[in-house]
A and B are shown apart, each in its own frame.
Chain A
Amino acid sequence: MPISSRADDIIAARGGVLTGALNIDRVWKRFRADLRNPFLIDRIEFLRDRLRGDTSNNYRWALRDVDFKIEPGESVGLIGSNGAGKSTMLKMIAGVMYPSAGNVHVGGRIGALIEVRAGLHSDLTGRENIFLYGTLLGLKRKRVAQVFDQIVEFAQIESAIDRQVKFYSTGMQLRLGFAVAAFLEPAVLLVDEVLAVGDSTFQQRCLERMRQVQADGTTLLFVSHDLATMEATCTRGLWLRDGMLVEDSPIREVLGSYREWIEHSAEVGSDQTGPVRVTSTTVTGTAGNGVQSYGSMTVELAVDSDIARGCVVYMGVSEGPATPIFVAQGSAKLSSGSNSVLCTFEHLPLPRGRFFLWTAIHEATRAHDLVKWHPAKAFDVSGPNVESTPRSVVRLSPVQVKNTWEFSAD
């Protein structure tokens, strides 16, 4: 893609920073605690509260003293649980929302991939939408016309370009929305969890495109709950918790402490009131040491049961609070009172890092669960430090398989 001079932009840089740079300067953002509509009656109630001196629960701080700088061309991941303030931060960077205190400086035009379909007008054709959106992003029509073909090609809607968008399939709308925002030469690209909605082909293409614009010097700010993709895409991580920036370091370190924190909040254990209860979970490695790559791992569950019954025990290992890497199941006969369940995994194909053990216990008929599928324990695997994969490999592999190589010349 040719990089044009951005001199023909309508929207000038905010706050005099370099093109592609972000300077978030001690930003605070306050919201009304209740999302009532701004009708006259709400105003009157608000005033009444104020006259009574009751201002305690009128406001909520969505962001508190968030302060960071991003250099042009950096790729930064923004992580945090729901409601931590990520979207508010993105909206502020996109320039649609203003801080209550502090300042936001952004160099150059923003391409925001937030709810990609939202900017499309369903009564207009694909062609008309591309021009409308491009103009609103601050490009001259002439410039939009120059990248028009690339957008259409990426979105794969050549045959439908003059059809109204309301007759597009969901996938076509997504592709068009992404293509428009990603091809209109943003200096900063904000990506908010958009990849979660498309199919995997589309996700691959989007990630490919994101890497390409990044290689062209575009700054990337990425929000996702898919930590593996984030690890592969970003070099630096910012962690927001309850509206505060608690960590700003290389992506691996941030993800490490984020996973550790999730473990603390997830490790609430199982329900202790059911007919079957897991009272303790222990994970041990070979000969009482820690768990090692390619070593064996023994999991011991102490299980209490009201009556004697047959059941199926499930165990699984995952990297984060997400899809398991592998699962195992075993049938057991529980007697009434305390029981012990032991499972040994051999040749653990896990690289060095932190993993989660998930457990569940179902009735022998598998009709319903006695103990829900839940993350029961976090454990660390020690092993050789594996070279990180090149960035073109999208997902970092969660398993490590022993391998041997042979090279020969014919």
Chain B
Amino acid sequence: MRDPATIGLTPPPELAFRRKISLLGALKSTFAAWEMVTTLTERELRVRYKQAILGVAWALLQPVVLIFTLTIFLSKVANVETHYPEYALFAICGLLPWTFFASAVGQGGLSLLSNLQLINKINCPREVFPLSIVGVSAVDTLTSMVAVVVLFAAKTTMPHALVLAWVVPLILIEIVFTMGVVLLISSMVVHLRDIRHVLPVIIQMGLVATPVIWSLDGLERKWQIVYSIANPIGPVIDSIRRTALKGLAPDLALLGYASVSAVVVFFVGFKVFKRLESSFADLL
């Protein structure tokens, strides 16, 4: 039997716990946990479509309604000059990447809070929860591609084939950036719950701040560069429009800045997430 009196009041400083994780090792274990991400994504989708009778239709409804509103008010009423022939097509090219980002950040940012029961029980890598929400948004975006096809058919326009050559790198930049932001926000929300209330406001502002309803062409060159670094989604949208609607090559310089920025944001987000991860169970 040990005498409790021999135990000090605070631990000796050399015992202080330091979690040893290398960035590479952490990335490896995230990759190893990929099946968890897909299973969680599947769970989210199943739960959602079990509750809603219209199911998939809801995923389509949101972008369609937005397109209508934007087309009518901005091109007909406000007369926004875009240098593109069809405002509806111009708008949807911007809307899809934006909705993907917005819904991933909006739901993914709160994913740790909504899964706290699992987080308090299972020691899986925590990033699977926010990442699975990125997966959900990706599936939603794929579903709303139907709206894009219908819209192009209605306007009897074919997107230029050039877009196919660029679609993979563009999606990559978009996803890497989104994952970084989602990881950053979701881990910070645990430590500062106020973000939860500010988040919807910021996302709403983002709709205006991102070239969804306006064109990046309108900016001066140096501001275009600054913008590409600050928000990699801007050049992604711009490249989609140039390739799909005009058949022009993307602005490679801007795209370069955007990819570097996206990768940096991802690593920062991942690093912060892993750093804050060890205190999640204490706070949730």
A interface residues with partner B (beta carbon < 8 Å): 10-12, 26, 28, 31-32, 37-40, 43, 61, 64-65, 91, 94-103, 110, 112, 114-115, 118-119, 121, 123-124, 128, 131-132, 135-138, 140-141, 164, 241-242, 244-249, 257
Contacts and interface: CB of A to CB of B under 8 A. Distances in A.
Contacts of B43: 121, 124, 128, 132
B123 A94 contact: yes
B190 interface: yes
B167 interface: no
B39 A131 contact: yes
A43 B193 CA distance: 11
Contacts of B35: 10, 135, 140-141
B46 A94 contact: no
Given A31-B282, A38-B283, A101 B121 contact: no
Contacts of A64: 7-8, 11
A171 B170 CA distance: 51
Interface of B: 1-2, 4, 7-12, 15-17, 19, 29, 32-33, 35-36, 39-40, 43, 46-47, 50-51, 117-124, 128, 190-194, 278-279, 281-283
24 contacts: A10-B35, A11-B124, A12-B29, A28-B10, A38-B191, A39-B192, A40-B194, A61-B10, A65-B8, A94-B121, A94-B122, A96-B121, A97-B282, A98-B17, A101-B16, A101-B17, A102-B15, A103-B17, A123-B47, A135-B35, A136-B39, A136-B118, A136-B128, A245-B2
Contacts of B124: 11, 136-138
Contacts of B8: 64-65
Nearest to A241: B4
Contact of A98 (B11, B19, B39): B19
A100 B11 contact: yes
A301 to B, nearest CB: 33
- Overall SS of chain A's interface: mixed
A28 B9 CA distance: 10
Nearest to A140: B35
Given A31-B282, A38-B283, 11 more contacts: A10-B32, A28-B11, A91-B281, A97-B282, A119-B121, A131-B39, A136-B39, A136-B40, A140-B35, A246-B4, A247-B2
B4 A96 contact: no
Nearest to A43: B192
